[in-house]
Amino acid sequence: MIPIVKTLNLYTGIIGISRKICILLYKQSTMKLISSLRKKSGLFILLTALLFGNAASAQLDPVKADSFFNFIKANPLRSSVYITRNDTVIARLNENKLMPLASTVGILIAIEFAQQSTHEMINENAYVSLTDIEKFYIPLIDSASYNSWLADAKAHNEIKDGTIKLVDIARGMITFGSYTVADYLMDLLGFDSVKENIALFKLKQHTAVYPFAGSLFTYHIPKKSSEDKLLKSLSKYSDKKYSMEAYYNHLDIKQDSTFKETFNPDKFTPRLMKMWNDNLPASTTKEYVMIAQALNNREVIDEDAYFPIAEVLEQPMEKKENQRLYNHYGAKTGKTAYIFTRVFYFTQKDKTRIESAIFLNDLTPAEEKKIEDWQPAFEAQYLSDPVFRSKVRF
């Protein structure tokens, strides 16, 4: 899931003269840097390992990396960035700005899952019925993610007679960002228990965590009303009122199989969809880096809870090449048609730590697709190329 450098075959498969020139300049600058580091053997070995040995799902692509970086620079009002290295801030932009998280709020759910598993409040290896999860499935907001998770679970033989392990459900939530799965897990763990992690990690700028599917029914236009009136009414809701209404709708979905039929996706207009996105649980890049730092340092929660944290949130460590380079590596991406969020953290074998959160909001669907395409290249370039990393300033 985490795109890291696999090779520097900088010529093969590259099409277009401009791209060739860009990559050639990148190679020349990188080779000069490596040459200057040869006398410092330890640093040279580390850099060489990062550049040539850190393989995952993507090769370096300086053009896409620059596209992602330049988009943020050109759109600062829609962007928030906070990156730290060994507790020193190395990049920042609007880090205290409240931004919707999309499914990245699943980090808090994963933390609660790990704690309850450790304290034997749940059995992570217990099988549960898929029908219990499907109760919360609303295709409008979760068709791609939920069905991708199911397909992956089937491909890996995780589903047994219509049931699946809790730990595989949690892993799927992190990998695929399914709101259906998130709702099921929050219902199982307890919404209040998940919310308590906001205080546990001393987050001061985090809105309420609530059920995703349930919140959609808040946008039902009553008879003798209109879209404009509903939007005006919802704009006056407090965070508490909005989350409680979503919760009551969640209970109706859970207890009444016919309740979902009251939601009409044809009347969920782009304006209503945009407001739903804007009202998703929100926080700041600075606060999510605070969470990432705690996880990276193995702090705040019980030491034993980091075993399930590793299972659920640190899936990049299942790649052998990452095991050679890192002690641990965790990541979560969230996205909608209007939002893109990415949080990751890692500790290298030499104890170097990096934590990063990048949130983008008010995107167009076309922009979000581009961001989704560019971001892995940006992350790979940022992790492996000190020259590129040094220019990422806002």
Given this model, what pLDDT does residue 296 score? 98
- Picking from 4-13, 244-253, 276-285, 369-378, which range would have the lowest pLDDT averaged per residue? 4-13
- How far is it, in rounded angstroms, from Cα 22 to Cα 71? 18
Q: Is residue 163 within a helix (H) or strand (E), and if so which, with residue range?
A: strand 163-165
Angle at the Cα of 122 from the Cα atoms of 120 and 126, rounded to 5 degrees: 115
Does residue 14 sit in helix, strand or coil? coil
pLDDT mean over 361-370: 98
- How many CB atoms sit inside 10 A of residue 317's CB? 19
pLDDT mean over 136-145: 94
Does residue 173 sit in helix, strand or coil? helix
The structure tokens listed for 157 are: 């033989």
Q: What is the pTM of this model?
A: 0.85
- Strand order, beta sheet including 163-165: 127-129, 163-165, 159-160
Q: What are phi and psi of 226, to 5 degrees?
A: -150, 165
- How far is it, in rounded angstroms, from Cα 311 to Cα 169? 11
The residue written with tokens 């998130």 in the block is: 182
Give the torsion sign (CA, 125, 130, 133, 137).
positive
Given this model, what pLDDT does residue 58 score? 54
**pLDDT, tens digit, for every residue of 10-64?**
333 433 444 444 444 444 544 444 344 433 433 333 433 333 333 344 579 999 9
In this structure, what DSSP letter does residue 362 have?
S
User: Distances from the Cα of 180 to the Cαs of 5, 137, 139, 153, 254, in angstroms?
Assistant: 33, 5, 9, 15, 12
Q: Which amino acid is at 386?
A: P
Is it the case that residue 223 has pLDDT exceeding 90? no
Given this model, what pLDDT does residue 222 score? 87
High-pLDDT (> 90) share of the chain, %: 82
Given this model, what pLDDT does residue 54 score? 39
Given this model, what pLDDT does residue 224 score? 86
Q: Which residue has the higher pLDDT, 224 or 96?
A: 96
**pLDDT, tens digit, for every residue of 239-280?**
999 999 999 999 999 999 999 999 999 999 999 999 999 999
pLDDT mean over 337-360: 97
Average pLDDT, the chain: 88
Q: β-strands 282-283, 163-165: how paired? A: unpaired
Q: Which residue has the higher pLDDT, 306 or 46?
A: 306
Helix-helix angle 106-118:179-189, to 10 degrees: 40
Concatenated DSSP letters of 16-29: SHHHHHHHHHHHHH
